[in-house]
Amino acid sequence: MLKGNALIGQSGGPTSVINSSLAGVIESALASSFIENVYGMNFGIEGFMKEWLFDLGRQPRKVIEGLRHTPSSALGSSRHKVQEVDLPVILSVLKKFNIRYFFLIGGNDTMDTIHRVEAYCRGEKYELKGIGIPKTVDNDLFGTDHTPGFASAARSNIMNVMQAGVLARDMQKVDKFVIYQTIGRDAGWLAAATALARKADDDAPHLIYTPEFDFSREKFLRDVEKCIKAIGWVSIVCGEGLKYADGTPVSASTTKDKFNNTEFGAMGGASVATSLHRMIVDEFGYRGEFQITESLIMCDFVRASPIDLEEAYQCGVEAVKLAAAEETGVMVSIKRVSNNPYSIEFGKVPLREVAVSAKPMPSNYFNAEGNHVSQLFLDYMKPLAGELPEFVRLEKIFAK
């Protein structure tokens, strides 16, 4: 079996559970017979090219164990897009540190990085095993039922919408609407997940809009008016990536990141939530609120899903198992066996099938109107979110 050192990196946005995956890789790699030393990229591939490496084998045991209960990216992250001129530099550093096992934890852009590095090394006759470990709160990776990080971010959003909904319901004589914006550039998984906040017909959220559907201002305003007439107020959840039929972002953002992805929110000027807020005010004159959490839900460990934490760790363990089986150019995948009782299996998927492209939600996960979810999606989501709090409301027993 190929012997040498292992390299681990974290890339892209953080999550509440990405460090749990890191712990799984470190512990499994250190316990293996074929990996000698375990190094960690400080600030991703950017730091690696500058030879900024942590010696993870020399970390105190309590620190490695503590990673399973620590949010964000302990190694430091990066959004650097690897260029052709970077590849010889990367190979040079791999050779210098005798790195033969390359693990990266991240989303589709990260999987593209591993895919390119592994392919380049193969072409240069340098033997390297490249394994991807899934991570993204957006839940938009192909080849896996869901991604570590998603369930915890979804749970955070669900609880935000639950509590904001109670507030909005009680303040409806002051504010007629509330808009909650989730992250999710190309897919609506996080926005859709907030549907679990709704226990009664008048509970939030009443309307959910995601990037899977072309946005229509006219239809949106009709939906809003219908809800307000029916129950007196409306709770709206929107994904940051909403676009009109011609492809124009509802946020009017034209700013691009290094991977040519549209930047929504603060960097792109107006947000979807503020744009929708303005539409309602201009059309009806109502007062209302908008709420934008941005990256806060990506590091909300207090609300992390227990299932998410455990699966993230096991994905790290599985990555080392794949390396032991001399696999390369693959990502760890999760296959759902059953919803009730919840059961999964781990597998693998070729990196070329995962890299760059985003996985939208299936059409049957939405209602016919495209402004809320179906029961099929609720069945998919419930085991991941875990138990949610129960709120009460006063019964309408008035004095005589």
Catalytic positions: 138
What is the helix (H) or strand (E) element at residue 159, kind and residue range? helix 150-170
What is the residue-wise DSSP string for 336-357? EEEETTEEEEEEEEEHHHHSS-
Contact 268, 255 (CB under 8 A): yes
Strand order of the sheet with strand 330-339? 53-55, 35-41, 4-10, 99-106, 129-134, 330-339, 342-350
Q: Pseudo-torsion of CA 301, 303, 305, 311, nearest 10°?
A: 0
**Residue 196, number of CB atoms within 10 A of its CB:** 24
Contact 188, 211 (CB under 8 A): yes
Largest CA distance in the chain: 87
229's CB contacts (< 8 A; 6+ apart) are none
Alpha carbons within 13 A on the beta-carbon side of 221: 14
CA 101 – CA 242 distance, rounded (Å): 39
* Token pair belonging to 161: 């919408």
Query: Which residues, in sequence order, are CB contacts of 349 under 8 Å at separation 6+?
Result: 142, 143, 144, 330, 331, 333
Can you say how many angstroms the Cα of residue 225 is from the centroid of all Cα atoms in its chain?
32
Distance between CA atoms of residues 324 and 196, nearest Å: 40
| Cα 142 from chain centroid (whole Å) | 13
Cα–Cα distance measured from residue 373 to residue 387, given in angstroms and rounded to the nearest whole number: 19
- Torsion over CA of 375, 379, 384 and 388, rounded to 10 degrees? 70
